[in-house]
Amino acid sequence: MNGTFFAILGAAIATALAGIGSARGVGKAAQTAMGVLSEDPSKFGKMLVLTLLPGTQGLYGFIVGFLILTATVMGGVAPDMTKGLLYCAAALPIGVGGMMSAFAQGNAAVSGIALTAKDEAHFSKAMVSITLVEIYALLAFIVSLLTVLNIG
């Protein structure tokens, strides 16, 4: 038995968990933004930016999953058991970290949208607060990315 199963599992973990987090975070923010836009459609641009921010984790997870697949399944190289397990482990930081940070960033985005709805002058403050959560998604992404790139 080779490690292909575990490599594919790793790609699935990275992509699915980070994607679930982003979908939930963006969905929550979008619901709040739609309420704001029903009252003032001129705020669309700002609401869009604040709504999109929790979506980055899904992109990070996709990149890690894609790199795992290109290094193994799509590259025509069946990894041994050790490498398969390493790929699976490499996916965990962005999978779990991405999901959790996207949940938190979605909550922060909801608050930022509410703040901006009351006074558009506070948009930059909302952006900074929401972006602070992104740091943890980036750290998880970097750990997963560097690990995947150093397995082969």
d(CA 112, CA 136): 18
Mean pLDDT over residues 1-12, rounded?
93
pLDDT given at position 93: 98
At 85-132, the pLDDT tens digits run 999 999 999 999 999 999 999 999 999 999 999 999 999 999 999 999
Question: Do residues 78 and 4 touch, judged by C-beta distance below 8 A?
Answer: yes
User: pLDDT tens, 72-92?
Assistant: 989 888 899 999 999 999 999
pTM of the model: 0.92
- DSSP character at residue 53: G
Beta-carbon contacts of 93 under 8 Å, excluding residues fewer than 6 positions away, are 140, 141, 143, 144, 147
Q: Superfamily assignment of 4-151 in CATH? A: lithium bound rotor ring of v- atpase (1.20.120.610)
> Domain locations in the chain?
4-151
Write out the two tokens for 101. Answer: 């940070």
